[in-house]
Structure 1
């Protein structure tokens, strides 16, 4: 969903946690501070790969450019990186500044991240050189997180079974609830992490509507801690805030859905939401530069908690950029160089592979084209999922093309007959609920899932909002969803 008009205003990239990542200033015999210090951390690790980060602090004269060098000691191989130009020759890895972060004042720091493969051991580097000068460092790898066991009265672990979502006992479940917007835009606008309170009382207010699911939109640049984001709202700070909200949602027995909403990549073509290369609006497709890394990091964060659901990308619209529907669906699944889109696209298959490559088996949702409103060829182009735990996502508003029962019967029903179908966003901009009443009835008749947009106190005519207060006071639009959920779930 596009948001109400708002003025658009790196910590460690992709950090799952900074536990065990420390820098100890080392003082020479004369008491002089080191010329530079480097904090190296393994922020997440899986079967054959890991994600790492470096934080460089310059303790000498200001620099106009920088280059960091270190040696991998365990046969690791660099595969990609960000916030620096990364390369590897033999065992030596080099990270050189980008054009936007070459200036490094005395006492200033800069961070960059990377992904690499490993086998046998993942030994940390023992020495670092900044512009040829040795740096003093102390490093520790991050510990492997312990598996998280859901609370006994918490949400279920869900899996796709045929065209149903089922729990561990095989009982059919539906995702019925709301979206909690804010995490996708506040951080990139430099205004915080969430829009409005996310304390226990505000989450309990959602549960009091008898919702069982909360969808949480995210921003990839904020999660990865890219340098364009205020560090207070990025990297570990952002991740920890998301983890805290997920924990609160679960504590009230609701299923958390973490969803990628805004991404990197410049698009100025048909229906562009903005001309900015950064993640400050909805782009037609995810980008290959950062989105696979985002999902690898998110999956590593939550893979030990299978109650968390992954929604790959909010509202793809490659159909607005390409000349044919076939090209749009091919772009949607396969990514690469897509007609009309100037950056390299990460397709849905790339993102499924990123999640499953971590060992995560969590339920995955994948929305179709036309802002997730078109599922007409979803079954033909659906990505392969080795875990067999994939569901279709669909969005609908009263102003969409597929907003009537005839379209639902012809395009949604065939999908819902084969795979679980979740309407990740339903809404209308009339401040009434006549339209979503129709949607909910159609979905109820077929035992399907839906989530209202959105649990935010906006003007319901500009960005359909369910509430006028975070204590759960509904708008006229929200009254329809609240009363319906309470009637269903008592």
Structure 2
């Protein structure tokens, strides 16, 4: 394409921290001061992207103007979150209105693209509102420079590798309501993106649904306010140093799916979006990436061949529009999905054929992965991350690697997680969930696949900036760089109705070495409290007796197995007795079984008619879907059967329910639906 791909850069990142003063045009405050952090985030032949952060260490400022002098003749070509003008080597950046106020100890950020020739020396001093300062009065300016290895913008494989790990700003700008809060999440703030960045994420996918913000044919004009809002959020993310991906998101099923019956209309509307987006982001830095469409699908097509042709048309039109628009778009990284973002070999082959035909070195393939479906939603007895679930993962990633990565085409796994998370993160047992994410991160690394966590607000709090499941995110973060030891289970049960006995679990060292077993900060004694024989960890009866204390139902002690690397493996020591389910009456819309769980935890439920045939939804299996058809509530002591379950239960037919618990206990219960009435009992 251009000469950028062969450029070897000597100075990748230049970070200049200059202590400068702050003064307002009005009468000066008592002790103005600020700090400016200037960083070149990426650099290529004749071009670069810089981020500037201004921290106020003095009095409140309302309206700011930052000035500096280019030492090497650089020029600003495009900016975000500030208006930047220049005259010769003199540069002025003024606030963008929304960030005019800088409170004491607060920071505002902006970024820009620039051009350079010869050298790209950083500015050595800044002035705010016309006054050059030294931070605290009397303190001279200081400059710190760091260097590193740049990623040339033309090297798509290296640039995609530099995007690892990534995070999705889900259920926000992609919502199909009137604005970004319509699906329950708050408006995006700079603080949110700052905090996501602080978690170690290098890239951010910003899904956007455009249809409800488009005018009618033939222009299909995007609402200016909405486009500006997307540009604002993108600008914040770029200023934070993220590599950023934007796309066409839920439009895929809202109206693009109608392409088999309205090819001309859909293509015109689709092209109108990318024409406008290409113009709006034409000069945005190379750190901005475009994705043609999320999870493409087609309704009423004649089959695979037509689906493949329609998706090829969309991807080809997208690429042509972006490339013809010029500017940075001429070489911008573009992401192309498979049908349904599936990793089935036929879908991968279809996309590979398109990419070969485009002969464009700056294309990326994308798929999504939400695990082996029975495990991902906990149905059909898929309660464990077992060999079948692991093989589904390895087969998927192997296909992606062999089809694309091994042939020089980078891959972004644009979304990953478990489908059960759509209800809550407890659908899959905690230890089994952690094993999935540990192995997922490890195998994606071995296959050189960049991953982007799907987060619709259920993981990282949008205003609290806290993780809802710290144990989960610790495992995910660890998997970015190393492996962690796990075990066959994180639950050790002893029945209160009998004497405490020793318990053995199998360690999965995953290439690590077991080092210790701890109860809090106390290290347990090998040979006395536990023994290790090969991969078998045995907790002695004496240790379990001591740890169980008065043997109240539930978790009595939490142990942690430590390994030579990665995060420790938690082991809950639990006292239980077989749960007791009581008789109940209710309706198909509201039915709950009184349940004394007695320290145990529900794993799954079977449902069968008297003749042995399967009852309820997914009648190809007796094991029903956790949370969708049944759900335990350990706080209130009930097991709920949902309206969705009874909607597919025969009238006046007795159903035998078999509840399987993690202790190994099995309890039988019977329900009968008569119209909208339901009765239940534990007796035969």
TM-score normalised to structure 2 length: 0.39
TM-fit CA distance, 1:296 = 1.3
Q: Is the CA contact (8 Å cut-off) linking 1:391 and 1:420 kept in structure 2?
A: yes
2:348 corresponds to which residue? 376
TM-fit CA distance, 1:448 = 2.3
Query: Is residue 423 from structure 1 mapped to residue 416 from structure 2 by the alignment?
Result: no
1:435 corresponds to which residue? 436
Aligned pair in 2 of structure 1 residues 475, 290: CA closer, same or farther (>3 Å)? same
TM-fit CA distance, 1:208 = 1.2
Query: Is residue 199 from structure 1 mapped to residue 181 from structure 2 by the alignment?
Result: no
TM-fit CA distance, 1:363 = 0.5
Tell me the distance in 2 between the aligned counterparts of 1:187 and 1:158.
39
Aligned pair in 2 of structure 1 residues 194, 312: CA closer, same or farther (>3 Å)? farther
- State the Cα deviation string for residues 133-176 of structure 1 (Å, max 9, x = none): xxxxxxxxxxxxx98349989x98774647x1339xxxx62432
1:460 corresponds to which residue? none
Aligned pair in 2 of structure 1 residues 433, 292: CA closer, same or farther (>3 Å)? farther
Which segment is superposed worse, 291-300 or 259-268?
259-268
Query: Is residue 261 from structure 1 mapped to residue 249 from structure 2 by the alignment?
Result: yes
Q: How does 1:38-117 map to 2 (within 5 A)?
A: none
Aligned pair in 2 of structure 1 residues 410, 223: CA closer, same or farther (>3 Å)? same
Specify the SS of the correspondent of 1:425.
Answer: strand
Of 316, 319, 322, which residue of structure 2 is paired with 1:352? 319
Q: Is the CA contact (8 Å cut-off) linking 2:295 and 2:340 kept in structure 1?
A: yes
Q: Is the CA contact (8 Å cut-off) linking 1:215 and 1:258 kept in structure 2?
A: yes
Q: Quote the RMSD (CA, aligned, Å).
A: 4.1
Tell me the distance in 2 between the aligned counterparts of 1:285 and 1:398.
36
1:481 corresponds to which residue? 476
1:366 corresponds to which residue? 336
- State the Cα deviation string for residues 442-479 of structure 1 (Å, max 9, x = none): 2211332110001x32xxxxxxx322453331233444
- State the Cα deviation string for residues 245-275 of structure 1 (Å, max 9, x = none): 111112221111111102278669xxx8xxx
Of 307, 310, 314, which residue of structure 1 is paired with 2:287? 307
Q: Is the CA contact (8 Å cut-off) linking 1:317 and 1:371 kept in structure 2?
A: no
Tell me the distance in 2 between the aligned counterparts of 1:263 and 1:165.
31
Q: Where does structure 2 lack aligned partners over 5 or more consecutive residues?
A: 1-110, 123-145, 375-390, 426-432, 484-684
TM-fit CA distance, 1:365 = 0.3
Query: Is residue 470 from structure 1 mapped to residue 435 from structure 2 by the alignment?
Result: no
TM-fit CA distance, 1:284 = 12
- State the Cα deviation string for residues 101-120 of structure 1 (Å, max 9, x = none): xxxxxxxxxxxxxxxxxxxx
Query: Is residue 291 from structure 1 mapped to residue 256 from structure 2 by the alignment?
Result: no
Q: Using CA pairs under 8 Å that are at least 6 residues apart, name the structure with larger relative contact order, 1 or 2.
A: 1
Q: Is the CA contact (8 Å cut-off) linking 1:311 and 1:365 kept in structure 2?
A: yes
Of 347, 362, 366, which residue of structure 2 is paired with 1:389? 362
Aligned pair in 2 of structure 1 residues 310, 284: CA closer, same or farther (>3 Å)? farther
The structure whose Rg is larger is: 2
TM-fit CA distance, 1:186 = 5.1
Of 286, 297, 303, which residue of structure 2 is paired with 1:317? 297
TM-fit CA distance, 1:243 = 1.1
More strand by share: 2
Aligned pair in 2 of structure 1 residues 256, 166: CA closer, same or farther (>3 Å)? closer
Aligned pair in 2 of structure 1 residues 156, 308: CA closer, same or farther (>3 Å)? farther
Aligned pair in 2 of structure 1 residues 216, 190: CA closer, same or farther (>3 Å)? closer
Aligned pair in 2 of structure 1 residues 265, 256: CA closer, same or farther (>3 Å)? closer
Q: Is the CA contact (8 Å cut-off) linking 1:379 and 1:415 kept in structure 2?
A: yes
1:216 corresponds to which residue? 206
TM-fit CA distance, 1:439 = 2.5
Aligned pair in 2 of structure 1 residues 466, 160: CA closer, same or farther (>3 Å)? farther
Q: How does 1:118-133 map to 2 (within 5 A)?
A: none
Aligned pair in 2 of structure 1 residues 366, 403: CA closer, same or farther (>3 Å)? farther
TM-fit CA distance, 1:348 = 1.1
Q: Is the CA contact (8 Å cut-off) linking 2:398 and 2:447 kept in structure 1?
A: no
1:251 corresponds to which residue? 239
Of 407, 413, 422, which residue of structure 1 is paired with 2:402? 413
Q: Is the CA contact (8 Å cut-off) linking 1:217 and 1:259 kept in structure 2?
A: yes
Specify the SS of the correspondent of 2:404.
Answer: helix
Tell me the distance in 2 between the aligned counterparts of 1:285 and 1:210.
44
Q: Where does structure 1 lack aligned partners over 5 or more consecutive residues?
A: 1-145, 335-346, 458-464
Specify the SS of the correspondent of 1:470.
Answer: coil
Residue-pair matches, total: 301
Q: Is the CA contact (8 Å cut-off) linking 1:466 and 1:474 kept in structure 2?
A: yes
Aligned pair in 2 of structure 1 residues 485, 235: CA closer, same or farther (>3 Å)? farther
Q: Is the CA contact (8 Å cut-off) linking 2:252 and 2:296 kept in structure 1?
A: no
Specify the SS of the correspondent of 1:466.
Answer: coil
Aligned pair in 2 of structure 1 residues 284, 446: CA closer, same or farther (>3 Å)? farther
Tell me the distance in 2 between the aligned counterparts of 1:205 and 1:355.
31
